[in-house]
Amino acid sequence: PSSQAAAVDTRAIQALDAAHYLHPFTDPKGINQRGARVIVSGQGIYLWDSEGKRLLDGMSGLWCMNVGYGRTRIADAVYAQMQQLPFYNSFFQTTNVPAVQLAAKLVEISPPQFNHVFFTSSGSEGNDTIVRMVRRYWDIKGQPERHVIISRHNAYHGSTMAGGSLGGMSGIHEQGGLPIPGIVHIGQPYYVEGGRGQSEEEFGLTAASWLEQKILEVGADKVAAFIGEPVQGAGGVIIPPATYWPEIQRICDKYGILLVTDEVICGFGRLGHWFGCEHFGVKPDLMTFAKGVTSGYVPLGGVLVGDRVAQALIEEGGEFNHGFTYSGHPVACAAALENIRIIEEEGLVQRVREDIGPYLQQRFATLADHPLVGSAESCGFVAGLNLVKKKAEKVHDCEPFDATLDVGMICRGHMFSNGMIMRAVGDRMIIAPPLTMTHAEIDEMIALIRLCLDKTL
Ligand code: PLP
């Protein structure tokens, strides 16, 4: 794959990039000075840039490349579908074969309460759909005053008006008038941040109790739904204590509130199950998915709709005035079907649960002895560590870095220079590698991370 590098004039591409391309979530001035790194090809867990340098992609692109790069089978499926029928909409009493087959497949692999699917092209659109769908549900049920959705600080649910509002990122809320009305936030279940003086189990119950407090503050008859990522991804791989999600479920059930899990990162094997809710033993009413459904080969997202909501929409709701031109796009659905076939044939979900997941967790935990590492946490095939200025025996006694230093970005810079992609979120360094990794590749990655931590010291 690195041979493609020869065909690219890096400086020319960087100049055009700086002149014309406004990148998402990027300070344009920052990128203009350095020049963006031009990624030209990928194979397995590796990427190559336009100068022929190889990078181990510890982030699966952007949490999506579950089956790894270079899957010609997906390319072939996409090509065949493009020739057969590149597009037709599924509005107005028409449908298409890949969309129907994918809906049936998603129902087959998801928990039993899910029998219906609504398609979008991204996770953000999926979460916009959630906002409209849960409010529509309560309208149909004759309780239109139930329109408030509770989410969490530091959650990421996308970047559209509704997705960015559901998310709890202050940087997003500061720009463009978010959050929209009727969305409120509670604290995140981050033990390192909030659990001083409590065991992890106690803290899980404390963090869940914030939901009940918020419900009582808003008024139980006004709350439509609670939404959360099973493991918060973009917020820094925040893995809740085992007591958290069952307690969240109990509180939602007590007040009759819809429970939504955002499975955009945690779905399709990331936590060793098809969906992350299964790892934590919760039964959501709705689930958002995207990313891993196609392993990012083609954009696709959607909402799995549980029977409680589906029955109301279908039996009592009439037309739901919502949808996108590309809902159920046949090419995207063909890519997803082939991607899911690969996950099944290679047993990647089980592999994460029983083989490479436990191996990564054991190897990642060894990083906790590094002088820069306050704690190293992992779950399934995601992991995060927090960088500290001064280590202590207990995680809550570690001395944090001054936020202005941006130690994460310094560490990330060393990673990049040494051929490793690891993401920095404040002082947390995180990974979510492809689910195809071998033990040897995990060893290589852990060694690279340790090397770059040494360089950051
Ligand atoms: N939800 C979660 C949990 C995500 O991590 C993301 C993206 O990272 C989204 C939603 C938004 O998905 P998209 O970028 O496809 O709109």
Cα–Cα distances (Å) from 371 to 237, 389, 393, in that order, read: 21, 8, 11
How many CB atoms lie under 10 A from the CB of residue 53?
14
Across residues 405-420, what is the average pLDDT? 94
Q: If you measure from the C-alpha of residue 147 to the centroid of ligand 1, how many angstroms do you get, rounded to a whole number?
A: 23
Task: Provide the pLDDT confidence category of residue 34 given band limits of 50, 70 and 90.
Answer: confident
415: enclosing H helix or E strand: helix 407-417
Structure tokens at 218: 């808003």
pLDDT digits (tens, 9 = 90+) for 222-279: 999 999 999 999 999 999 999 999 999 999 999 999 999 999 999 999 999 999 999 9
> Residue for token digits 């958290």?
244
- CA of 232, closest atom in ligand 1: 3
Interior angle at CA 187, CA 181 and CA 188, nearest 5: 115
Q: Residue 404: its pLDDT value, please? A: 86
Percent with pLDDT over 90 in the chain: 95
- CA of 122, closest atom in ligand 1: 15
Closest residue by Cα to atom 13, ligand 1, is: 123
**pLDDT tops 80 at residue 32:** no
Cα–Cα distances (Å) from 243 to 98, 239, 248, 327, in that order, read: 39, 11, 9, 37
Average pLDDT over all residues of the chain:
96
Structure tokens at 441: 């590749």
pLDDT digits (tens, 9 = 90+) for 166-221: 999 999 999 999 999 999 999 999 999 999 999 999 999 999 999 999 999 999 99
Task: Provide the pLDDT confidence category of residue 83 given band limits of 50, 70 and 90.
Answer: very high
Closest residue by Cα to atom 1, ligand 1, is: 157
375/354 Cα distance (integer angstroms) = 24
Cα–Cα distances (Å) from 419 to 59, 63, 412, 416, in that order, read: 13, 18, 11, 5
* Residues ≥6 apart with Cβ < 8 Å to 87: 326, 329, 330, 331
Q: Residue 401: its pLDDT value, please? A: 93
Percent with pLDDT over 70 in the chain: 100
- CA of 262, closest atom in ligand 1: 3
Burial-class residue 402 by CB neighbours within 10 Å (0-12, 13-18, 19+). Answer: exposed
112: enclosing H helix or E strand: none
165/157 Cα distance (integer angstroms) = 8
455/59 Cα distance (integer angstroms) = 21
Q: Residue 249: its pLDDT value, please? A: 98
Q: If you measure from the C-alpha of residue 444 to the centroid of ligand 1, how many angstroms do you get, rounded to a whole number?
A: 28
166/154 Cα distance (integer angstroms) = 10
Residue list, ligand 1 pocket, CB within 6 Å:
63, 122-124, 127, 156-158, 229, 233-234, 262, 264-265, 290, 301
Interior angle at CA 118, CA 116 and CA 124, nearest 5: 135
With the most atoms of ligand 1 within 8 angstroms of its CB, the residue from 287, 291, 303, 382 to mutate is 291
Across residues 20-30, what is the average pLDDT? 92
Task: Provide the pLDDT confidence category of residue 4 given band limits of 50, 70 and 90.
Answer: confident
Q: If you measure from the C-alpha of residue 59 to the centroid of ligand 1, how many angstroms do you get, rounded to a whole number?
A: 14
**pLDDT tops 90 at residue 137:** yes
pLDDT digits (tens, 9 = 90+) for 84-128: 999 999 998 999 999 999 999 999 999 999 999 999 999 999 999
How many CB atoms lie under 10 A from the CB of residue 66?
29
346/353 Cα distance (integer angstroms) = 13
Burial-class residue 404 by CB neighbours within 10 Å (0-12, 13-18, 19+). Answer: exposed
Q: Residue 30: its pLDDT value, please? A: 83
Q: Side chain identity at 425, as an amino acid letter?
A: V
